[in-house]
Structure 1
Amino acid sequence: MLRALILASALVLPAATAYAQDDEPGRLSLSATGEVNITPDMATVQSGVVTEAPSASEALNANSQAMNGVFAALDRAGIARQDVQTSNLQINPVWSNYSEGGERRITGYQATNTVTARVDELDSLGATIDALVSSGANHIQGVTFGVDDDSDARRQARLNAVAELQDIAELYAGALGIELGGLLEFSESGGFRPQPVSSFARMESMDASTPVAAGQLTISVTINGVYEIAD
C-alpha cells in the first residue's frame, strides 16, 4: 500500500510586486510538493574485477579470465544476459611513490572491468552478491534500488501536490484578507529520490548471506502555481 507524505511550501511575492501597478491584477505565487513512499521491487548491482600485473596485456588477460567467472555467477543466479551491461572497462598504469629526486615510475598496470546487473528478485540479492564475490568479483561498486513501474505512485504524488497547493492558496488568501481569482500559471517539476547507494570497497572475501536492506523509495512531484488576486 502506498503511504503518502505531503510537503508544501509557499512564497508570497513582496508587497511591492504582489499587487501590480497600473490596474494590473496582483499575483500570489505558491508551490507545493507531494510525496509517496513505495517499496522497491528491483535493484541494480555494479560489480567486477580489478587485476594488476607487470604489463597491460597480462593485467587484461587475468581480468578477462576472472570476469568469465562473474558472468557465469550471474547466469547461475538467473540474471538474463539482456539485464547485464558493461559499465566500465579501463586499463591504467600503476605508479610508484615519489623518489627522493621527485621522480615516479610505472611499476605495473591495473585493469578494471565492471558490469551492471538488474536483479528482480530482491530476496536473492544478498545471495547474488555472495555468488559474485565467490566467483572472482573483488570490486562491488554499489547497489541501487528502484521500482519497475512508478506510474501509480507518481499519479498519487501529483494529486497530493495539487490538493496541498489549493489548501495553501486558501490559507494565504484568508490570512491576507484577499480574494483569489483564477490560476494564471502552472508548472511541474518532479524527482525520484532513491535510497543511498550501498558501496563496498575492493574485497578479497565476503561472509555468506550478505545482509541487504531495500528500505523505501520516495516519488516526489513539485508544482508551482500563480493565482490572480481579485480586486
Structure 2
Amino acid sequence: MIRALLASTALVLAASPALAEDLNPTLSLSATADVQVAPDYATVQSGVVTRAATAQLAVQANGRAMTAVFEALRRAEVSSDDIQTSQLSVTPVYADRTEPNRNQYEIIAYETRNTVTAKVRDTTRVGNVIDAMVSAGANNIQDVSFGAEDTSVAMDQARRDAIASLLARARLFADAAGFELCGITRMSEDFARSPQPMMMARMDSASTPVAAGQLSISATVNADFCIVTD
C-alpha cells in the first residue's frame, strides 16, 4: 500500500510542470522612477474665522467677511465654477480652565469658521489671489497646493523608466551572481502615488511669494524573474 502511494505521488509530480516550476529559484526586484512635470493649476484653501458673544452674531460677522472674500476672488479672475465652500462650522468657545473664578464648561463665545477652496488656473497669479483674499478679510490660510489636469503621459513615461531600470538591475544581478535569466514569471505595479510638488524658490515683489515648482509623478514596478543556476 505504501509503495502504491509513493508511486502515485511521483507520477503526480512528474505530470504537473507547475509544481516543478515552483521549485525553481527566482529573483524578485522592484524599481521606482520619477518624472517631473510643470503644474497647470493651484488650489488655495482660505477663509474667515470670527468670534462673537452669540452664535448668530458670529455667523453674521463671518457671512459679511466671506461675501467680501468671494467678491475679491471674482475680481482676481477666479471663475465661479472654481470656487467651492469646503468647510462651515459654528462651535462654542469654553472658558480657559486655568482662569480663576471660571467654570471650565462655561461658554464664553461662539466661533464660526468658513473655508473656501479656489482653483487658480494661472499659477503665476497665486500670490495675487492670496493677497486679494487677505485684503478682503480672509484670516485663515490653510493650504496651497499644485496639480496638473492630465498626468497620464508622465505616468506612462515613469512606468517605462521603472521597467527599464528593473530589467537593467536584473541583468546586473545575473552577471554579478553568475546565473541566467529565463523569463519573467510575475509583474505588478504598486498603487500610484498622487503627484507631489517639488518646490522651487521664486520671489515676486508685487505679491505674496509662491513657488509652483514641479510635480513629481512616481511609478513603482515589481517583478519576479525565473533564473537558471549551474
Q: TM class, shorter-chain normalised?
A: 0.7 to 0.9
Counterpart residue number, 2:151 = 150
Asked if 1 retains the 8 angstrom alpha-carbon contact of 2:198 and 2:215, the reply is: no
Counterpart residue number, 1:176 = 177
Pair 1:103 & 2:103 matched: yes
Tell me by how many angstroms 1:196 deviates. 7.7
Tell me by how many angstroms 1:101 deviates. 6.9
CA deviation string 1:141-171 (max 9, x = no partner): 1100111211121111011001000000000
Change (3 A) 1:100 1:195: same
Asked if 1 retains the 8 angstrom alpha-carbon contact of 2:162 and 2:219, the reply is: yes
SS in 2 for 1:31: strand
Asked if 2 retains the 8 angstrom alpha-carbon contact of 1:130 and 1:208, the reply is: no
Asked if 2 retains the 8 angstrom alpha-carbon contact of 1:54 and 1:108, the reply is: yes
SS in 2 for 1:192: coil
Asked if 1 retains the 8 angstrom alpha-carbon contact of 2:198 and 2:214, the reply is: no
SS in 2 for 1:212: coil
Asked if 2 retains the 8 angstrom alpha-carbon contact of 1:31 and 1:223, the reply is: yes
Partner of residue 228 from structure 2, selected from 217, 227, 230: 230
Percent sequence identity is 47
Counterpart residue number, 2:187 = 186
TM-score (norm 2): 0.82
Aligned pairs, how many? 202
SS in 1 for 2:197: coil
Tell me by how many angstroms 1:226 deviates. 0.4
SS in 2 for 1:25: coil
Asked if 2 retains the 8 angstrom alpha-carbon contact of 1:44 and 1:145, the reply is: yes
Q: CA RMSD in A?
A: 2.0
Tell me by how many angstroms 1:60 deviates. 0.7
Q: Indicate the structure with greater helix content.
A: 2
Q: Distance in 1 between matches of 2:81 and 2:194?
A: 24
**Which runs of 5 or more residues in structure 2 are unaligned?**
1-18, 200-204
Larger Rg over CA atoms: 2
Pair 1:213 & 2:214 matched: no
Counterpart residue number, 1:16 = none
Q: Distance in 2 between matches of 1:100 and 1:61?
A: 31
Tell me by how many angstroms 1:75 deviates. 1.1
Counterpart residue number, 1:113 = 114
Counterpart residue number, 1:38 = 37
Q: Distance in 2 between matches of 1:163 and 1:196?
A: 24
**Which runs of 5 or more residues in structure 1 are unaligned?**
1-20, 198-206
